Each structure stands twice: as structure tokens, then as C-alpha cells.
Amino acid sequence: MSFFKALAASTLVAIAAPAVAQTQLSIATGGTGGVYYPMGGGLAEIINNNVEGYSATAEVTGASVENMGLIATGDADLAIALADTVAQAYAGTGRFEGQQLPMVRGLASMYANMVQIVALEGSGITTLSDLVGKRVSIGAPGSGTEVNAAAILEANGISYDDIEEQRLNFNETADALANGDIDAGFWSVGAPTSSILNLATTNSIVMIELSQAELAAAQAADATFAITSLAGGTYTGVDADVAVLGIPNVLVVSSDMSDDLAYNLTRAMFENIADLQAVHPAANETTVEFTLTATPVPLHPGAIRYYEEIGATIPDALRQ
């Protein structure tokens, strides 16, 4: 082949298969020992395979509180966060007093966290009140776990002055329990979660169950709490069902996101939900029905377009 024929052939190939520019999306998740990170990774894969012109990456973060800030500053395009944290950010209350984030919008509610309070067998800790005077991990700084732990303790008359609080992420909490560096730890995460699973394979654990009065006090303090049940057998050594507090997890974006992109992201997730369920069983809870009953802030107009397209009725509270 002559030089000119070769040049023409290569030009034809280049014209036939141009490089497609991809807009990168960042998904703010949590630590690697929880559920946010694998769920975010599964969602990123769905976006990469089904939303033309976009690619996505799941980012490790400090979770809910930090994630809301990342949405506000534009450093993340999507984020997963606990419903109570999302509601506080939108209203400018709680951890967000004086720094309201009115741009927060929901795409969907993903699944419910369970607040799991774990100690080792033989620690003498079997009730919430037993935490007084003990070394307790309340979750990573800026995490929804820290928000939930503070709410539960305060609602039941326990302040940080009453415990030796430590702010550790899920993997660090499990390691610290195993090493005897702390006495108990809070997890607000979907069940089962890998860090507790791993801890329970090498140590005998105790899941602290709140009394009905303690559950009711927490609910009275935070309307996003719901009483649910951690099934017996979820973790080795925890054989009976345990009543726990549950909190929805919300997939949020900024109101600045285009309606078309929000629509395409919502549609891609629900039309390929089996792919997300294959990543983590928590995604079995990711339904349109759950979204319309559990989302604490208005939905993005693009998401509403998808829900209406499939025949869903949108509650007035979810419209802006």
C-alpha cells in the first residue's frame, strides 16, 4: 500500500470512530467498610454503561455530613446521605445551623440504614445505659453515624460528657473493638455490613438492643427514625431478631443539575436496578415506592419527570 493510500485509510478509520468526550461525574459515598461505597460503585457502573456522554466514579468520603457540603460546593455531583442529615442541611438546622443548603434535591431513596450498637461478649455492656463511662466510637467525623449516635444518646439522657467518645470510621471501629481499644461502637449502615461481618467471624459480639422507651425517645427527638428489625442470623453470634432504629438513605444532587441529566440518571438506575442489587442486597429496597414515602426533601424536576412518566403520583411535599 502506498503512503497516500495508507494515510487515507487511517484518516477514514479516524473519521469512522471519533473519540467520544465523556463528562465525569463524582459520586460522594462513605468509607470502604460501609454500604455507601459499594452502592456508589454499582451506581457508577450503571451510569458508565447506560448514560451516554457521562462516566462516573465513586469517591471515598466521611459520609453524610461531608457529602452534603460536597454537593453544596459542587465538588460532588451525586451523594448518598442519611435522611436526617439531608433534612437538616435543607432546612439549616442541627449540624447545619446557620448554613442552610436550599439547593439540595433528591433523586431517590436507596435503602434504610440500621443503627447497630456493637460490643464484645464479656464486656459487661448489654444496654444503652451501660455505655456511660465507657470508650465509645460514635462514627467518623462528618458522618451520619455521628449524627444518629448523638441524637440517640441525647434523647436518652446521655451526653458526650458521660462517655469517652471516639470518632472512628467503620473499619477503625471494628479494629478498635477487636484490639480492646474501645468498649462499644455505633454503626449507622445497611445490614449486613462488611466491617461487622468480619469482626463477628473472629470475636463474639453483642448487639445492644434499645428498650421500647429508648426507641420511642429517639423517635420523639428525630422524626426520620423508624423502628425496624435486624434479623437474627445476620451476623455470627447474633441469633435473635434485634429491634433497631432505621433511617432512609437518600441519593441527592444539586438543583443546578440539568433536568435532562437528572432524568437520565434516575431512569438508568431504576431500569438497571438488578445490576445494583447484584452489588449489594440493600438495593432490594431501592424502589419508586420507597422513594416517594421516605425522601425528606423535594425531588429534582428531572427525577419527577421520570416518576410521572412511569405513572407514579408525586406527593406535594416532594415538589419544589
Q: Cis link prior to 38 (omega < 30° from 0)?
A: no
In this prediction, residue 163 carries a pLDDT of 98
Query: Is 141 within the bounds of a domain?
Result: yes
Query: Is 16 within the bounds of a domain?
Result: no
Helices (H), the chain: 3-16, 36-50, 64-73, 83-91, 144-155, 170-179, 194-202, 212-221, 259-271, 273-279, 288-294, 301-309
In this prediction, residue 223 carries a pLDDT of 83
Tell me the pLDDT tens digit for each residue of 26-36: 999 999 988 99
**237 and 117 in a common domain:** yes
**278 and 217 in a common domain:** no
**102 and 149 in a common domain:** no
In this prediction, residue 8 carries a pLDDT of 40
Q: For the chain, report the end-to-end CA distance as a whole number of angstroms.
A: 64
- CA dist., res. 138 & res. 145, Å (int): 7
**141 and 103 in a common domain:** no
**44 and 148 in a common domain:** no
Residue of 152, 123, 121, 126 whose CA lies nearest to 138 = 152
**153 and 271 in a common domain:** no
Q: Are 85 and 53 in contact (CB under 8 A)?
A: no
C-alpha cell read off for 137: 466510637
Domain that holds residue 228: 113-247
In this prediction, residue 20 carries a pLDDT of 61
In this prediction, residue 207 carries a pLDDT of 98
Query: In Å, what is the CA distance from 191 to each residue of 18, 49, 147, 229, 230?
Result: 45, 27, 18, 10, 8
In this prediction, residue 19 carries a pLDDT of 53
Q: Count how many domains the chain has.
A: 2
Which amino acid belongs to residue 80?
A: I
| pLDDT averaged per 10 residues, the chain (length 320) | 41 45 95 93 98 98 95 98 94 94 97 95 97 97 91 97 97 98 96 94 98 96 88 96 94 98 98 97 92 95 98 96
CA angle 235, 230, 195 (to 5 degrees): 40
**239 and 119 in a common domain:** yes
In this prediction, residue 320 carries a pLDDT of 83
In this prediction, residue 152 carries a pLDDT of 97
